[in-house]
Structure 1
Amino acid sequence: MTTTDSTEEFGYTSSYLADPHAGQLARLRTLERAFDPLSHAVFNQLDLVQKPAILDLGAGAGSLAGWLGKRYPDATVTATDIDTRFLTDIPGIEVMTHNAATDGFPAASFDVVHARALLCHLGEREDILTRAATWVRPGGWLVIEDVSLRPSLRTANPVFRKVAQAGITLLEQTIGSDMLWADTLPDGLRDRGLYRVGHRTLEGRIGDNGPADAFWAATTAQAGPALLKRQLLTQDDLDAMVNLRADPGFTEAALTFVSAWGQVT
């Protein structure tokens, strides 16, 4: 029987994914290395106004915000997060403490609003998506990027499937994450009246020592104590997954990085 501590706090900021965790910066760096190439490709295809005002919502460790400041040197790039400890000393950006679930911006404040690996973890994701569209000026862009773990549920490998399902369950139970929500992003933008909606995906594999593999391994390792505490996995399960990833004959799709964008009327 799975037991939990009823006194545990619920939500991202009190979870094993929160910024105060000792390994969080290193984990975020693995996410950046895996996701940045897709994010760069998406922004490179957007037609932006001169001197755009860009909001990077939930900027994390700031690699994309810093890149945006270099890519658009005449832009105003505002990087926000509920915890901005990793956003210091990044040239070319303005930093603001901001809770996407409760804080807003005036209508038509930005030419681009971007969020990455954020909304899937917030129970208010649909409301935030609706509000974020209003923060974009007419003709501007809403760019939402997130992670889908659907590929991990398709595996026939029993060890990988057990660990993947346990990770998804942990995210649901402790944070309220929906790790399949990213698959709906293009339709979500269309439903809010955006046009010129497009999307791109990037497959992330484990067992190949690539960027996505490093991100998956770092996140699973950081989740280990919580998985054991909630009896979702045993130490033998975690050890078996480490051995599986180290097997030269093993590699499988584990996640999909999804980017979706649309223009505001």
Structure 2
Amino acid sequence: MGADGDLLRSAARTRRRAKLHLCDGRLDQFGAEDREARQAAEHASITHRHRAVATGGAVRWEPSLLFRPSTGGGDRHTRYATEGGPSLTPLDPMTSRRPAAEAASGYDAGAFSHHMTGEQGRLRALEKLWDPFTEHSLRRAGVPAAARCLEVGAGAGSVARMLARICPGGHVTATDIDTRFFAELAAEERVTVLSHDVTQDGFPAGSFEVVHARMVLCHLSCPEQVLAAMSQWLVPGGLLLVEDFDLAPADASPHPVMRRGLHVAEQTLEASQGSDLRLGRRLQALVTDAGFDLGGMAVQPVLIGDGGPADEFWRLSFAQLHEFQARNSSPLAGELDAAMSLIDRPDFTDIGMHAVSVWGRKPGGPLSDPSA
């Protein structure tokens, strides 16, 4: 891939070094830059809509009040609680006992940012590709009908809708750093839409019976720390289900053009926003290392070129990555174009990746007993 490929790999190595320093909690040049970015972000106009309503000892979150972080002195975090209900407690990453994870601004400025043209369509294509697999895994894992569910990184909102359907007596809190693509869900009776950065904002301990995140951990610098936080938000015996890609099959592709295109896609996302598209391979270890009792794991090969939903997902993904590369006048955009054109050839079919789903229970409590 020449000089541009070398630059991508160099940038990716720099981001990996930055991740190691941030995960270890060390303040060096990377930590200082991260801190400056966070301090600047404190003055941004970030809106949280939530209302804690206590009903029969349970707490459900409804869209109601408008809170903005302070732009002056004092604590920038806003806390609200009703009588008998816990408060929403955003975490200050610089003072929390957990080392700071990378700011969400890295993803927000990357090739798959919500600001990129076509991102909503790409997310919709991802839903068509992955939703059947997600619903199958949720039902296998066993989601209580009256569960309080947290959907982290809700994207375009389909899994939040799915959880509301699976839990007819429960409540769903759908979160993302940018809620524009599912904001209409706030009008639903049992769904709350919340602007929330999983690396900075927290919930009270024991707020949920179910936490789900799809294609979230792969975009974070320290997924271990986020899983630890999710464990705190769950009740004892609560269910965690996380899903991610494993792009390893691309290495063995018999089609050199697609192999190069997928590798350029991987390196572009790693360099621009720190994404790890092979995290799915170690997802089970991350869940068990976080202290969860493993409930199960499912893996689905994802074909490209068979006319299925993956074709549209990769067409839109390659097009968006091409746009990102073209902004920098990179010749690597041609590699993405070549891979995209291969998808529609009648003699082409390939296994591009694996979709991986892993679920487990927080130890303790009746929900951790499969026979309960």
Range of TM-score over shorter length: over 0.9
**Is the CA contact (8 Å cut-off) linking 2:219 and 2:274 kept in structure 1?**
yes
* Distance 1:50-1:250 versus aligned 2 partners, 3 A rule: closer
CA distance in structure 2 between the partners assigned to 1:253 and 1:40 by the alignment? 22
Q: Which moved more, 1:53-62 or 1:64-73?
A: 64-73
Report which stretch shifted further, 237-246 or 175-184: 237-246
Instruction: Kindly state the Cα deviation for residue 170 of structure 1 after the two structures are TM-superposed.
Output: 0.6
Specify the code of the residue in structure 1 equivalent to 2:305: G
Residue 57, structure 1, aligned to residue 152, structure 2: yes
Q: What per-residue deviation string (whole Å, max 9, x for no partner) do you get for residues 170-205 of structure 1?
A: 111111111111111112111122114311111111
How many residue pairs end up in the alignment? 261
Change (3 A) 1:50 1:244: closer
Equivalent residue runs for 1:7-86 within 5 Å = 11-86=106-181
Residue 319 of structure 2 aligns to which amino acid in structure 1? A
Cα distance in 2, alignment partners of residues 242 and 112 from structure 1 = 37
Is the Cα contact below 8 Å between 2:145 and 2:168 reproduced in 1?
no
Give the drift of 1:50. 4.8
Q: How far does residue 238 in structure 1 lie from its aligned partner after superposition?
A: 3.5
- Offset, 1:248: 0.6
RCO greater where, 1 or 2, for CA within 8 Å and sep 6 or more? 1
Residue type of the partner of 2:338? A
Structure 1 residue aligned with 2:355: 257
Aligned Cα root-mean-square deviation (Å) = 1.9
Equivalent-residue separation in structure 1 for 2:343 and 2:260 (angstroms): 14
**Closer, same or farther in 2 for the Cα pair 1:234/1:143, shift >3 Å?**
closer
Q: Which amino acid is the alignment partner of residue 158 of structure 1?
A: P
Could you say what secondary structure the match of 2:146 adopts?
Answer: coil
CA contact (8 A) 2:303 2:353 kept: yes
SS in 2 for 1:139: strand
Q: 1: distance between equivalents of 2:118 and 2:252?
A: 29
Question: Can you list the C-alpha shifts for 1:28-86, whole angstroms capped at 9, x where unaligned?
Answer: 00000011001100111233445211000110100110121122111110000000111
1:188 paired residue number: 286
With structure 2 as the length reference, what TM-score do the two structures score? Answer: 0.67
Hey, what's the Cα distance between the residues in 1 that align with 2:258 and 2:264? 10
Question: Quick one: distance in 1 between partners of 2:290 and 2:172?
Answer: 25
Equivalent residue in structure 2 for 1:149, among 223, 230, 247:
247
Q: Distance in 2 between matches of 1:67 and 1:196?
A: 23
Letter of the 2:113 partner, please give it.
A
- How far the C-alpha of 1:242 sits from its partner, in A, is 3.1
Q: Does 1:122 align with 2:122?
A: no
